[in-house]
Structure 1
Amino acid sequence: MGIFERLVPIFLIFVVIVFSQRLSVVSGLNYTRYRKVGSLRLARIQRHLEKINKPALLTIESPDGDIIDCVHKRRQPALDHPLLKNHKIQRVPPEKPKMRMMKESVERDYKKKNSSSGSDGVIRDSAWQMWHQKGQRCPKGTVPIRRTTEHDVLRAKSLYDFGKKQSRSPTLHRRVDAPDVVSGNGHEHAIAYTKASSEVYGARATINVWDPSVEVVNEFSLSQIWVLSGSFDGSDLNSIEAGWQVSPELYGDSRPRLFTYWTSDSYQATGCYNLLCSGFVQTNSRIAIGAAISPISSFSGNQFDVSILIWKDPKLGNWWMGFGENMLVGYWPAELFTHLAEHATMVEWGGEVVNSQPNGKHTATRMGSGRFAEDGFGKASYFRNIEVVDSDNSLSSAQDISTLAENTNCYSIKSSYNSGWGTHFYYGGPGNNPKCP
């Protein structure tokens, strides 16, 4: 046998190993094939899955591989929370924030102007969710929940860390005039924010949806709204968050997905993404939190976005989430919070990535579209019609916002105002590049 014949099997084995490792990073599928997992750990994971995967009245298979379980609304994970033992699901829709007449007229004119069809790059429609593509829906009285698998859990560092954000380090203090963002733990941002200590009762924005590439499986790229109250450099920060994110570790793929998050102790022990722990009460049978958003924006092509509204019900004090034009997704009960039981003191809008510095270099994980803010419409990602809810439950355009990007050579932000988009900004960037080594 010649040397070539002897090397072929070795080469093929090498290719299989490299491809398998790459597959586990990119897709996260069949993750257990590439690591040894003890029987005790698997047993703990199965017990955890039995707690959060509730019995389904109907199961829907999404084209992207997700399993959506239609769970009776009174059996959902939220009600397992010890603080919600006697909680009654809010049935009567809360009073939505009022829009001012001038603003309503501007929105109607904007929609009329941008309702044409074609490929000239204007906004066509709101993005939706992939599991709807076969026309399937969950029955009334149930809520759609993305089923969690053992592969999802195994991609996390541990069962304790599964579904949670990295906690803030109390030794990493923010600037006096800056919001609750720190870069020392590997998180980088391009955000707009309101002044601290003002009384805020909610926020809204329409967010452009892209599918930014993520370099390493335990990094993510997200675009979201933060509603905050409490000590920004202590352990009692309350935060409510919603938007879209690409997280290979959490979902096992690179698709943008609708997500929520909450914490009442600065990301230490309380809260989680989506419905991966008890807390958030879902009321909508058409929106699956954690499901993939489709379609998405294309470079110099059609732009698709999602509108998200978070506000406090002035009567019962629950914090509600709205999606699109008029849909209520659900709410974070007032019982979960300390400071947010009263009101928020700051709102943030924008992008965040994790920079784990793979190979000693800045990550190439993209934010938004992966293009800098200066590239503008059709290229850079945007937040438009940025608004806040005031004490009389009225929406108004956010005024006097500040912007922050830790390293403008990696990710940038540029804010502006006009009659159609109100207060808005472009943001994002490619991460690693010659100016961001």
Structure 2
Amino acid sequence: MEFKIVLFCMFLFINIILSHAAMNKFTVKSIKSQDGDVIDCVDIYHQPAFDHPLLKDHTIKVAPSYHPEGSNNGKKQKVPQIWQLSGECPEGTIPIRRTENGAASMTKKKPIFSSSISTDADVQLRHEYAYTQTPTGKYFGTKAIINVWQPYVEGSREFSLSQLWIVAGWGSTLNTIEVGWHVFPQIYGGSNSTRLFIYWTNDGYRTTGCYNLGCAGFVQTNNQMAIGGAISQSEITLLVWKDQKQNVWWLQYNGVILGYWPTTIFTLLKDSASLVQWGGEIINSSPNGMHTGTDMGSGSFPQAGPGKASYFRNLQLVNDANTLISPPNNLGGIATNKACYNINVGVNSNWGNFFYYGGPGKNPNCP
């Protein structure tokens, strides 16, 4: 078994190197960012998405056929990222953050339903969550506003993230689309910057899925936003919805459309999602035999309240009529280790459905 795993990793690594070499031929311009990132402006028709065998003849969609907010907000707008201070990508290209040895694509995630996958590595790298979710149903997207922090991450293999999950299936059939912000030094050359990320899988993280543009799947259409680039805003708005006419899942960030996941790369998400989740996640590698001190969110518990605790607010769902609606008011909070990280869910007239969440990890009640 170990020999097969080694062979698989070597095969994956070689293919990543070859794909990066091939991509260099289609780099129109490279920009060195003040934060140390290198952004390659790659011909839009030679982006990683088209390495997917099901997307070889795919025609890029310029804009959604409709927008759940009632208008198409996909106009070109400035999306401030630090690298933009040093240049911009020309029309007909997309910005791709250069990675080291394909690290972003080789790192696998794990579902909230931790019982669905169990490996030796997972025993040492425990995923802990504070989140809320919809009842099981039929969903076509979600919108949420999230405040942004720079959490402390302790272990070299640990991360801290805040995201939304669009989910269908279970175990090895699990399909997800995931979007949010994270601090994950291991896949960003040791950088502890807070970054926008995306992720997807169609087989429970077993053989498919990657961060950002680390593998074929997501089709980027925007030439101003580098997925995986550092976030400079204190609050971001995310919207993901299924365009039922085009059969794609669109991603919008702060009112700007970034691109889409074609439904052909999925199995169960070809139709709709059965569950939507929002919340925080960390990896606990138990450094020195103790619970990690990695923060979730701001590192404060939910009761710290405004200005100190992390939040998601104005949670909304996209229904089968392509309309944004409020989720049920009885959403409950789920925390897998309340002494370390917790969640408080509420509803009010200004924030609609919202929740505070997070925590400091290791503390007197979480040794």
1:398 aligns with 2:327: yes
Aligned residues: 346
Matched residue, 2:32: 61
Q: What letter matches 1:133 in structure 2? A: L
Q: 1:54 to 1:239 in 2, by over 3 A?
A: farther
Q: 1:270 to 1:290 in 2, by over 3 A?
A: same
**SS across alignment from 2:294:** coil
Q: What letter matches 1:68 in structure 2? A: I
**SS across alignment from 1:98:** coil
Higher mean displacement: 56-65 or 371-380: 56-65
Matched residue, 2:7: none
Q: What letter matches 1:376 in structure 2? A: G
1:93-152 C-alpha deviation (Å, 9 max, x unpaired): 33110369xxxxxxxxxxxxxxxxxxxxxxxxx984221234x221111111001223x6
1:263 aligns with 2:201: yes
Which residue, out of 352, 361, 366, partners 2:281? 352
1:174-204 C-alpha deviation (Å, 9 max, x unpaired): 9xxxxxxx999500001011012x0000011
Q: What letter matches 2:267 in structure 1? A: T
1:375 aligns with 2:304: yes
Matched residue, 1:301: none
Matched residue, 1:81: 52
Matched residue, 1:142: 93
Task: Determine if contact 2:94/2:221 at 8 Å carries over to the other structure.
Answer: yes
Matched residue, 2:134: 194
**SS across alignment from 1:189:** strand
**TM-score (normalised: structure 1):** 0.74
Which residue, out of 209, 219, 230, partners 1:281? 219
Aligned-residue CA RMSD (Å):
2.6
Q: What letter matches 1:369 in structure 2? A: S
Matched residue, 1:108: none
1:329 and 1:229 map into 2 onto residues whose CA distance is: 23
- 1:44, CA displacement in angstroms? 7.3
**SS across alignment from 1:90:** coil
Task: Determine if contact 1:127/1:294 at 8 Å carries over to the other structure.
Answer: no
Which residue, out of 65, 70, 75, partners 2:41? 70
Q: What letter matches 1:276 in structure 2? A: G
- 1:416, CA displacement in angstroms? 1.1
1:337-363 C-alpha deviation (Å, 9 max, x unpaired): 111001000000010000011111110
Q: What letter matches 2:241 in structure 1? A: W
Identify unmatched segments of 5+ residues in structure 1. 1-39, 101-125, 157-161, 175-181, 296-303
Identify unmatched segments of 5+ residues in structure 2. 1-10, 72-77
Q: 1:387 to 1:85 in 2, by over 3 A?
A: same
Q: How does 1:11-160 map to 2 (within 5 A)?
A: 46-47=17-18, 49-51=20-22, 55-98=26-69, 128-134=80-86, 136-150=87-101, 153=103
Q: What letter matches 1:145 in structure 2? A: I
Matched residue, 1:309: 239
Q: 1:372 to 1:285 in 2, by over 3 A?
A: same
1:44 and 1:391 map into 2 onto residues whose CA distance is: 39
- 1:417, CA displacement in angstroms? 1.3
